């Protein structure tokens, strides 16, 4: 079985990768990777890959996810982890969208893979909206407030398989398979 090295501190992302890439052995490397402050996810990924390569000296992949709220001109974008875990959270995110009366948002995930010679940057986006209030028990991060376009349920109200029919993660990992095979 071919091995893929995934550097992440997010156990949920690791579990998703294992489920979505059953044909690979996913080697999990868990250490803190400095994240530069930038609104450009590709720039963030490039810096992460450079740091990880210097530390591991083996091919690996990293991911960065952002959520851009239209009512805030695209903010928090790549600062979403800080936004949800440290300051604003799900309830206030819904209240902000309600206050502005503008619920549109875009979920973007960038995956970076470095094979020791070439860097590969893959990006997928999903348009959606912020729910009027948090709903659902499944998933993680903003799943309780994100509704994909064409849906009425948040991704936290969906099964793993239903969420992955929309999620950028599945699409990115499918594209990664083509690169590493």
**Helix, strand, coil shares, percent, the chain, to 5:** 40, 30, 30
Task: State the helix-helix crossing angle for 11-20 and 168-180, rounded to 10 degrees.
Answer: 60
For residue 108, count other CB atoms closer than 10 A to its CB: 18
| Rounded distance between C-alpha atoms, residue 166 and residue 128, angstroms | 10
Active site residue 115: no
> Among 64, 115, 118, 143, which one carries the catalytic annotation?
64
> Which two structure tokens, joined as six digits, stand for 127?
């348009």
| Rounded distance between C-alpha atoms, residue 45 and residue 8, angstroms | 12
| Rounded distance between C-alpha atoms, residue 99 and residue 71, angstroms | 9
β-partners of residue 129 are 104, 147
Q: How far apart are the first and last CA of the chain?
A: 11
Which residues participate in catalysis according to the annotation?
Answer: 64
């Amino acid at each position: 079985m071919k091995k893929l090295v995934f550097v992440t501190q997010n156990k949920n992302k690791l579990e998703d990768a294992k489920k979505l890439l059953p044909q690979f052995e996913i080697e999990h490397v868990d250490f803190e990777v400095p994240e530069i402050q930038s609104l450009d996810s590709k720039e963030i990924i490039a810096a992460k890959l450079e740091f990880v390569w210097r530390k591991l000296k083996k091919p690996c992949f990293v991911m960065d996810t952002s959520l851009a709220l239209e009512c805030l001109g695209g903010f928090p974008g790549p600062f979403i982890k800080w936004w949800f875990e440290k300051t604003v959270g799900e309830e206030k995110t819904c209240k902000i969208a309600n206050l502005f009366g503008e619920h549109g948002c875009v979920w973007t995930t960038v995956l970076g893979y470095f094979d020791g010679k070439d860097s590969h940057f893959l990006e997928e986006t999903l348009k959606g909206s912020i729910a009027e209030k948090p709903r659902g028990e499944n998933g993680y991060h903003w799943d309780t407030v994100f509704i994909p376009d064409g849906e009425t349920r948040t991704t936290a109200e969906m099964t793993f398989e239903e969420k992955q029919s929309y999620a950028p993660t599945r699409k990115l990992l499918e594209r990664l398979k083509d690169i590493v095979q």
